[in-house]
Amino acid sequence: MRRRLTLAACALALAVTAASATLATASAEAAGTYQGTLTITSVAKPNAPDQPIVVTAQGAIAQQCDPTVFCGYYPKVTTVPASVACRPQLTREGWIGDVYDDATGRQPQAFTATWQERPWLYAGPKRACLYAFDGAADTLVAETSFDVPGAPAPAPARPDPRGRDLVRAAIPRSVGVRHAYGYELSSANVPRNVGAKRFAVLARVAAKRWGLRETGTTVRAPRQGDGRNTVGFARDVPRVALGVTRIRSVRYYRRSGGVTRIVGERVVERDLSLALGVPWWVGPGPPPSNQVDLQTVIVHELGHYAGNDHVRNCTNSPMWTGLRPGEWWYSRSDWFQFGCPNVPSPTAIATAATARTAARFALAPGDPRPLLVQRSVRRVFLD
């Protein structure tokens, strides 16, 4: 289709109401004038937290042209935050109509515009901008405002008291070594947002996945140097960390002929301390973007307890060096970490897609909080 239209904006009239807005742009050469209206007719309500909603608008564009010049254009509708003015630089998201005014004098052209909004990324007032696109340039014709409703909160699910909502499969050898080391489970300092019963279930399920065995319970918090192997919440966790596993051992040496060699090593104490004052998520299911998954932290720290070290980010393992709110590792087929292209589960893939979109709006997460392991060795020489 042949299009010839020269526009040089010299006048702009704006009339905005709660339902519609109209703008007119006239050419200095009197080649043509766009006039139009845009009205939001409906905004769907979200029925699930992870689903977009549909916005529908009615619009019309009229164009008075020089009778000797063909006037063809596409109508376009895009959206911006309400605090941002409509401008010729169009956003990626929006609606593009068919070619209108394909016969000179057929005015005005009415249309229905429908597009999607994502409440989980943006809720609140937005502005819809109507343009006429002639194949070479965009001309702002009309604008109006509307509200994007917030995404509904998911129905709260209660954790299963027996832990049937937790992954129980043994940690595979490809992820880390498993050992039958013993531990005492502490009931001290358990935060209210966790609950003593839920914590006990989380710890016992995670311990069995590593092959660890519970030898009893205690009301004492984990404390380095008391000679007890304890798992629980404690106040001595470094301030920035989510948890720390401390392993104390004795290493035996023997000197012979001027050479010192190691003849043995014995672990004398293992302690796992979890941080207080953390917005812990105890399930069921993956954590929201503002809470830290306690199940993943316990699995990680008990991995140190069983004898495993850290791995690089995006490795399919719970042994990352740190964890952000909204991240988790439950199994080799169900985990998510920001910035990783190899997330496996449908839930994680959907979360990753949302995170990538959020990053474009400067909502990317901050640095992960560390998950620590500290080892201390006392040397003993056997003479």
* For the chain, percent of residues with pLDDT exceeding 90: 60
Decide if pLDDT at 31 tops 80.
no
- Residue 173, domain member (yes or no): no
Domain holding 217, by residue range, is 182-356+368-382
23 inside domain: yes
CATH at 325: 3.40.390
Number of structural domains (the chain) is 2
Residue 65 is predicted with a pLDDT of 67
**170 occurs within a structural domain:** no
Asked whether residue 258 falls in the same domain as residue 349, the answer is: yes
Note the pTM of the prediction, 2 decimals. 0.63
E strand spans, 194-333? 213-218, 230-233, 243-256, 259-274, 280-281, 292-293, 322-323, 328-331
What 3-state class would DSSP assign to 299?
helix
Residue 118 covered by a domain: yes
Compare 325 and 383 and report the one with higher pLDDT.
325
Which of these three, 148, 171, 199, is where a domain ends?
Answer: 148
Indicate whether 161 pLDDT > 60: yes
Contact 172, 211 (CB under 8 A): no
pLDDT, tens digit (0-9, with 9 covering 90-100), for 234-254? 999 999 999 999 999 999 999
For residue 45, the 8-state DSSP code is P
Cα gap 144→130, rounded to integer Å: 9
pLDDT of residue 99: 76
